[in-house]
A and B are shown apart, each in its own frame.
Chain A
């Protein structure tokens, strides 16, 4: 992302964001509400146009509309992007068919089994809890296997075994040379796994460093941000 800005009306959701992510990285995106995390994910997914600046994915400029790059990008949004009146297996079949036509019933059954939804395969999505919907989204992206996976606030809805299923999937994506960008408020859980932490505040990147053990500089930056938010000096 090269100097990307995004303005909604009079609000700067992103301001001069520069970000370069290498293959195999798991980037944790942190920041308070309204910091611009979801907007950044939407710009990377080509679901929102940047007002200024440009985005390049895998060496190609990101274009809007239908482009071959879309095959390489996944967006795991907790609870969203599923049809309530279709069953679990129908949702999976429909969405995966838009990306690939070589996925058979056995592949779908295996993945549903792995995410713990095999018993629920004939239930309508409207009857699923938020956590189960998130597991279904994991199953979908496991079958699609995107090179860039954008994940928006998944931990709030998943139980510990669901978190484990998600983390295993994200780690396998990175191990295969893919990129994960995960936005969350669950700082400890994210810092445990991510290989790089990026913190946003009011649309700007205020912290961007690779993994440290322990995350001393991240915690000082995070504390500084918290003190600003609670009315401290800016």
Chain B
């Protein structure tokens, strides 16, 4: 494989191999997300009439907080032994590096969601299995939105001393459109709205993903080498 595609392949191969050997990201995300869901299910007594309105928001809070944990660790492997310097020294397309990190973060989040979604259904007594393709589609669009913005800001805070604090402070306000759109679409799918109401939220999600993936692709060089 040549060019940027080959570089994305090798960067993704490296990140997945490191994660498969360490498992620290996935395990911390999984246990944190699970704990949050349990806490939410016990803390809020949600009646069966309200569940389709309340549960998607709680689910996405769990995804977002767990995802932020993963973003904080996203460049950790490359920081060890100054490997980031070795990557920047190489004729590496910075856009390819950004896309590889987005795919990696997206894969971790997707794995987390595969674990969490069934538990979410059980804990909140939601019978949504027949709606799963739609739920997955909007969850994946929202996850992509989270990853494309998250990776860019994880890179911005890469050299900051208080990056664990700085990242959510910068990231969460920008995530409002994604969270709003994903939560609203899930509410509609679970019965709190009509199918026609889905369209504008779907457009918002796709538009957000496209704008930020382009911005991240173009800006990472400036962020890393600047």
* Chain A residues engaging chain B, CB cutoff 8 angstroms: 45-47, 64-68, 70-71, 73-75, 77, 79-86, 90, 94-95, 97-99, 101
A154 smallest CB distance to B (angstroms): 15
Contacts of A95 in B (CB 8 A): 86, 90
B158 smallest CB distance to A (angstroms): 15
**Contact status of A85 and B225, CB under 8 A, knowing A98-B91, A101-B1:** no
Partner of A70, one of B10, B14, B18, B89: B89
Contacts of A64 in B (CB 8 A): 225
Contact B91 A80 (CB under 8 A): no
Q: Mark contacts of B76-118 with chain A using CB atoms, 8 A cut-off: 1 yes-contact digit, 0 otherwise.
A: 0100111101111111111000000000000000000000000
Contact B10 A65 (CB under 8 A): no
A207 smallest CB distance to B (angstroms): 28
* Chain B residues engaging chain A, CB cutoff 8 angstroms: 1-2, 6-7, 10, 13-14, 17-18, 21-22, 77, 80-83, 85-94, 221-222, 225
Q: Give me the 7 closest cross-chain CB pairs, A-B, nearest first.
A: A81-B86, A98-B90, A70-B91, A65-B225, A65-B221, A80-B82, A71-B91
Closest to A82 in B: B81
Contact B91 A83 (CB under 8 A): no
A-B pair count, CB < 8 Å, reads 80
Contacts of B86 in A (CB 8 A): 75, 80-82, 95
Contacts of B7 in A (CB 8 A): 97-98
In the bound complex, what is the Cα–Cα distance between A86 and B222 (angstroms)? 29
Contacts of A98 in B (CB 8 A): 7, 10, 87, 90-92
In the bound complex, what is the Cα–Cα distance between A85 and B10 (angstroms)? 16
Contact B22 A45 (CB under 8 A): no
Contact A94 B93 (CB under 8 A): no
**Contact status of A47 and B91, CB under 8 A, knowing A65-B221, A98-B7, A101-B1:** no
B168 smallest CB distance to A (angstroms): 27
Partner of B92, one of A46, A66, A75, A80: A66
Contacts of B14 in A (CB 8 A): 83, 86, 94
Contacts of A84 in B (CB 8 A): 80-81
Contact B91 A99 (CB under 8 A): yes
Contacts of B81 in A (CB 8 A): 79-84
Contact A45 B89 (CB under 8 A): yes
B173 smallest CB distance to A (angstroms): 28
In the bound complex, what is the Cα–Cα distance between A67 and B94 (angstroms)? 10
Closest to A67 in B: B91
Can you name 16 A-B pairs with beta carbons within 8 Å? A65-B221, A65-B225, A71-B91, A75-B86, A81-B89, A82-B86, A83-B77, A83-B80, A83-B83, A86-B14, A86-B17, A94-B10, A94-B14, A95-B86, A95-B90, A98-B92
In the bound complex, what is the Cα–Cα distance between A83 and B83 (angstroms)? 7
In the bound complex, what is the Cα–Cα distance between A73 and B82 (angstroms)? 17
In the bound complex, what is the Cα–Cα distance between A70 and B88 (angstroms)? 9
Contacts of A94 in B (CB 8 A): 10, 13-14
In the bound complex, what is the Cα–Cα distance between A82 and B14 (angstroms)? 12
Contacts of B221 in A (CB 8 A): 65-66
